[in-house]
Amino acid sequence: MAYRFEHGEPVGHAARRILDEQVVGILGALENPGGPGLAEAVHEARRRSKKVRALARMFRTPMGEQYAAVNTCFRDAARRLAALRDAQVAVQTFDSLLAALPRGLSADTMAPVRAELVVRQQHASHDTADASAAFEEAAGLVRKGAKRARRCSVPDGFGALASGLGRTYARTVQDWYACCADPSSASFHEWRKRIKYHRYHVDLLRRVDPDFAEVRRDALHELSDLVGEEHDITVLLQMVLDEPDAFGPVAARRQLMLVAQRRRAFLRTEAIALGARLTAESPASLCERWETAWTVWQLGPS
């Protein structure tokens, strides 16, 4: 079954089903660290871990004291895989910047930067010992978090998820304002996480109000792409800043900084504009909308 609530399915049963499906997917992705699909395995495990964290946020109130422990386990599992992910994505991010290189700038100037990124990507792909250790540790954290989550009892009805739904959206709105006031990497990093959790909540509820959910999901995917690219550029720049001498001459690094900062400024402007539309409704109003739709959905035919 899919990552969503189904008509007639008790909420507690749905929460357990969705958790188990995601955990099976994560552990399956982490089975073979030495395989050719390392990048895809890392992506899949991290993506599903975030889905579990979004699910936990939705049921934060009924989970009580277990919430923090569950969230920490799945957060740390994804973090353990972050270095592998960053090494793979850095080359893609660089190539995207190169494809949009402004007229008058030479791609050859930045060639030393790409060469170093490729070396790091290949090292991450072929260092099976490091990948095995990361996969094993992440899998252990996932099993620990899942065990804790299964101890929780989730009651039936919309009330079980209302608080978590509203709280997550409220943080999304709050962090949009923070980005408007301070459009920094740190602000966008926090907002990016809230957008993703809110997007997954809409995914979970997409059968409840399909028309509203489809429009909102599409816009949230677009927003996620904008802030995701912004984050990838920030990670790339930080790599270069941490070890500047490894990335070639000053001219190469200077041109990368120029191109990356221009692109990042554009992405931030676009994201803030789209975010204004997606955060216009108050948390109370949005929760009321979903609750009304939920009631109608439950009373309707399967």
pLDDT tens digits along 112-152: 999 999 999 988 877 777 888 999 999 999 999 999 999 99
User: Identity (one letter) of the amino acid at 257?
Assistant: M
Look at the block and give the residue holding tokens 């997550």: 168
pLDDT in tens, 168-226: 999 999 999 999 999 999 999 999 999 999 999 999 999 999 999 999 999 999 999 99
The answer to whether residue 164 is domain-embedded is: yes
CB atoms inside a 10 Å sphere around CB 151: 10
Q: Where are the beta strands (DSSP E) in the chain?
A: none
The answer to whether residue 6 is domain-embedded is: no
What pLDDT score does 36 carry?
55
Q: Which residue has the higher pLDDT, 276 or 103?
A: 276
Cβ(230)–Cβ(274) below 8 Å? no
What pLDDT score does 78 carry?
96
What pLDDT score does 34 carry?
60
User: Identity (one letter) of the amino acid at 232?
Assistant: D
The answer to whether residue 218 is domain-embedded is: yes
3-state secondary structure of 201: helix
CATH number at residue 206: 1.40.20.10
pLDDT band at residue 244 using 50, 70 and 90 as cut-offs: very high
- Assess whether pLDDT exceeds 80 at residue 265: yes
The answer to whether residue 78 is domain-embedded is: yes
Q: Please state the rounded mean pLDDT for residues 62-78.
A: 97
Total of domains in the chain: 1
CA angle 298, 203, 175 (to 5 degrees): 120
Cβ(90)–Cβ(236) below 8 Å? yes
- Assess whether pLDDT exceeds 70 at residue 28: yes
The answer to whether residue 3 is domain-embedded is: no
The answer to whether residue 70 is domain-embedded is: yes
pLDDT in tens, 148-165: 999 999 999 999 999 999
CB atoms inside a 10 Å sphere around CB 106: 10
DSSP one-letter string for 66-79: HHHHHHHHHHHHHH
What pLDDT score does 33 carry?
66
Identify the domain containing residue 290 by its residue range.
11-299
The answer to whether residue 4 is domain-embedded is: no
- Assess whether pLDDT exceeds 90 at residue 255: yes
The answer to whether residue 5 is domain-embedded is: no
Cβ(226)–Cβ(277) below 8 Å? no
Look at the block and give the residue holding tokens 């790409």: 114
